Structure 1
Amino acid sequence: MTEPVRVLICDDQVLIRTGLATIIDAQPDMEVAGECGDGRTGVELAGKVRPDVVVMDIRMPVLDGIAATRLLAGAGVPHPVKVLVVTTFNLDEYVYEALRAGASGFLLKDAPPDRLLHGIRTVAAGAALLDPDVTRQLVGRYAARIRPTGGTDPDIPLTPRELEVLRLIAEGLSNSEIAASLVISRETVKTFVSRILTKLGLRDRVQAVVYAYRQGLVS
């Protein structure tokens, strides 16, 4: 038997923490490793209980979820922890900042329990999770701040087809949707995604989305 996914819940609302803990502990393949109400305690607790995934709120006292995510999963962290941001704000600019800080994905708090559980399992497995509806809107609101004023970098080391796939990733499409859009197989899409991440030196799909937006590849 494989070990259960250990989840640390970091949210300043007791009722939210209790609800999440109840849902997670009811799963045979998951267990709650700890709970806390602010980002600073979350970082300290993560060092003690070694969770597989931290479910992180954004707006919290002492240390917010963005700063906590940066300390747990940001560039240069020796032993990064996977962070799944769960937020009330579907168009909050802090969602973008959380992704830049190293989060592996995000969901809205009103997502049904099965989507939350799927998100935890996805992130624990090393994949990225983006809520498609939020992804499609995120940069529409913050495009001026995210995109460089100089336009797209002409030296992006991708083929035209790879650029096309990257744009579709950034628009929130799944591999199946990309395959249908380009009339290619899912396996071919997976190959393109792998090549894109390797060529650009990116960790996962989340970083690919941030990269595409910063390069102005999505209108």
Structure 2
Amino acid sequence: MSDLQTPIRILLVDDHTLFRESLRRVLEAEAPFRVVAEASTLEEATAYCTGGGDFDLGLVDFQLSSSDPAKNGLAVLRAIRQTNASAAVILLTAGTGKAELREAVQTYAASIFLKSEPTSDLFLAIERTLEGRRWISSGANRLLLEESSAPSASAPGEAAFTARELMVLRWITEGLSNKEIADKLTISESSVKALLQKLFEKTSVRTRSQLVRYVFECGLTLP
């Protein structure tokens, strides 16, 4: 994270005090980060957002202690988007269902990070999310990319894509840049751009984020 010079203001939402304190120490030991607010419930997070609290990145736990199961991390993401549409957000989870993950990604433009993954991956997830890219932890990615039981009839099936195109789709869902994809395939960035253009034509979309949504909605199984 050494490339980030401007302090990154973080809203940290998690109902476990020990986890919040530990994560705060880890984050603030890294120069650009400053936790400006903490919340343990939907109500606390909403009060901060509606009260004019400003932040650049929200780290939001999915499972919050409440008698109402609807008062979870998705509800926090909704509150954030209503008051701070431009904030980067990452949903932290120990594991949740496919429907909830899809909603976080598609409706609230959130990255997904599994709590079981290493801290080094969290910093990478933060960096990519702040760049406007999407990070989806490998475990969550596998769940999201499981073949849909009812794929769209109008969508091309997997046979419509070459093996290389499917690999490129996988790396796009993982948030890799054109240069990173080019390095993996040992080709030029211009060749990657050509592959992307072909994918745009096949899927009738125009942006990388729309490609990610297409993959999720069609339930494509990627290598």
Q: Same fold (TM over 0.5)?
A: yes
SS for the counterpart of 1:128 is coil
Identity score, percent:
20
> Radius of gyration: which is bigger?
2
Q: Tell me: CA distance 1:116–1:186, structure 2 relative to 1, closer, same or farther (3 Å).
A: same
Report what 2:12 is aligned to: 9
2:74 to 44, 66, 70: 66
Please report how far the alpha carbon of residue 123 of structure 1 lies from its aligned counterpart in structure 2 after TM superposition: 1.4
Report what 1:131 is aligned to: 137
RMSD (Å) for aligned C-alpha atoms: 3.8
2:60 to 38, 56, 63: 56
* Structure 1 length-normalised TM: 0.74
Q: Which runs of 5+ in 2 are unaligned?
A: none
2:30, 2:193 → 1: CA distance?
Answer: 29
Do structure 1's residue 144 and structure 2's residue 152 form an aligned pair? no
SS for the counterpart of 1:33 is strand
1:136-215 → structure 2 map (5 Å cutoff): 136-140=142-146, 143-144=148-149, 147-148=151-152, 150-152=153-155, 167-169=169-171, 172=174, 174-175=176-177, 178-179=181-182, 183-186=186-189, 188-189=191-192, 200=205, 205=209, 208-215=211-218
Q: Which runs of 5+ in 1 are unaligned?
A: none
SS for the counterpart of 2:79 is helix
Aligned residue identity for 1:69: L
* Structure 2 length-normalised TM: 0.72
Report what 1:102 is aligned to: 108
Q: Is the 8 A contact 1:170 1:209 kept in 2?
A: yes
Please report how far the alpha carbon of residue 166 of structure 1 lies from its aligned counterpart in structure 2 after TM superposition: 6.1
Report what 1:38 is aligned to: 41
Please report how far the alpha carbon of residue 8 of structure 1 lies from its aligned counterpart in structure 2 after TM superposition: 0.6
